Each structure stands twice: as C-alpha cells, then as structure tokens.
Amino acid sequence: MAKKIAVALRKGGSGKTTTAVNLAEALRQNNQKVLLVDLDPQANATISVGLDPMKLDKHINTLLTDVLAKVEDVVTKSSFGMSVLPGHPDLAETEGGMKATQIGLLKSLLEPIENDYDYVILDTPPSESYLTVNALMYADEVLIPLQAHYLAMRGLEDMLKEIVKVKQGLNPKLKIAGILPTMVNKRTNIAQTVLDSVRKAYGEFLYPWEIGFSVRHTEASLVGKPIILYEPKHQGSEVYLLLANDMLSKHKKED
C-alpha cells in the first residue's frame, strides 16, 4: 500500500507546489512508483509538470462530480513519465459546494489504486478548505514547506493547529513528516530570524536542509519540469533528493 504524503501550508507562495512536484520526482528517481495528486484549483502542480489543465478531458474534478468516473481513467502521464491526477480550476466551484459529509470522499476515490504506487504525493490548496481536510484525512504524513519570511510563521501555526484537530478526530494516525525551509535568502536577516524561531519552537520537526531562493525554480515550472530534471546540479535539486532519501530511509525502518 502506498505511503500518502500531503504537502500543505495555509499560505500561498511558500514553495508548496515546487516541493510536491520535486519530492515526487526525487522519489521516482529512487525507483519508486509515484502518483502526484493536484488538489489546488490553481492547478499549479499540473502546469509545473507540463500539462495544460484546460486541454485535459478528465481531471480530478471529474472524479469529484461524476459518479461513473474511474480514477484509473483520469490519471495521466507527463512527458517525462510522472503519473499525475491533474487539477483544474473547476475545483474551486466544486469545493465551494462541498459539505462536511464529503470529508472522506478523496480517500474513497483513491483507495482503488493505492496498491499501484509506492507513494501518493498530494499538493493542497494554500487555504483552509474541504479539499485540504480531505487530503489530511487521507494522508499518512504532512510535509510543511515554510517560506523563510515572518508572515509564513502564522501560516505554520495555523497548519499545525489544523493537523492536531484532524488527528483528534478524522485521522488519528496522521504524522508530521517535517518542516522544510523554502525560498531562503541568506542575505537577509529575516530569514535567519525566522529559522531560529522555528528551530526554537518546533526543532523536532525541522529538516536540516533548506531550499534557497532562486529564480531557477520559476524557470523550471515555466518549462513544465521539476528542477531536478531542469537543472540536476542545482542546490534545490540536491536538497529534494536528500529529502526523498531521508523519507525512504525512515519508511524502510518503520516497515
């Protein structure tokens, strides 16, 4: 059965999608069968792997709105071979009409294909939503990408509170995989101040690596590739590979 990792933070611009896409690719490069699930109505993860959501006949919103749709018919492949359950802007309208009774919907939709993958990586919306709660109910672990900026601290605190709430009811097995500093600009004092604050408050969850600020991440997204493929020797590529290796090692020990 696949390990399910939700990449989540209730704040935009945190490197969440970049982390989801590159973690998925880093795991693939370790010979893992990976499914990338795009739950964000902006469909940035879908776009970042070279797929145009507006040109797809089927996407995740199809699964959420068509009772006859089968998940295996919706999963598609990127040009470089990644399996993707694509996002779509129509998710916003669907999410707006969701009810609390539909919190377990994602779990029921994805369970039929769990045995086909080693990992399911879920990119979530940058806000409190039924889609995010669905992801947290389904996931085994949450990876939190944290932009090294003081405004991101509020998003981190809100995310941790939401995880605790989900653990207490919907998904008692949910764990925090770790907090990954992203978009770190070491030329600014605020970056170090934020990292020091996180280390002091949540040091047990803080990864020992960080993703530096670089326009190359944006460039990679624009050409529809993970930075691991776009520029393999980039600092971010190396960190995402370290992250994947660490995750694989921990899960091997747990199994």
Is residue 16 within 8 Å of 44, Cβ to Cβ? Answer: no
List CB contacts of 54: < 8 A, sequence separation 6 or more: 88, 89
The owner of tokens 């996407």 is: 59
* Other residues' Cβ atoms within 10 Å of the Cβ of residue 44: 21
**Collapsing DSSP states into helix, strand and coil, what is residue 41?**
coil
Range of the domain at 120: 3-254
Bridge partner list, 147: 182
Q: Which residues of the chain have pLDDT under 70?
A: none
- What is the predicted pLDDT for the residue at 57? 93
Bridge partner list, 175: 141
Number of domains, the chain:
1
Angle between helices 215-222 and 16-28 (to 10 degrees): 70
Give the up-direction half-sphere exposure of residue 197: CA atoms within 13 A in the CB hemisphere: 17
CATH of residue 214's domain is 3.40.50.300
- What is the predicted pLDDT for the residue at 14? 82
The per-residue pLDDT for range 26-43, each reduced to its tens digit, is 999 999 999 999 999 999
- What is the predicted pLDDT for the residue at 225? 97
- What is the predicted pLDDT for the residue at 27? 98
- What is the predicted pLDDT for the residue at 52? 97
Strands (E) across 12-169 are located at 34-38, 76-77, 83-85, 119-123, 141-147
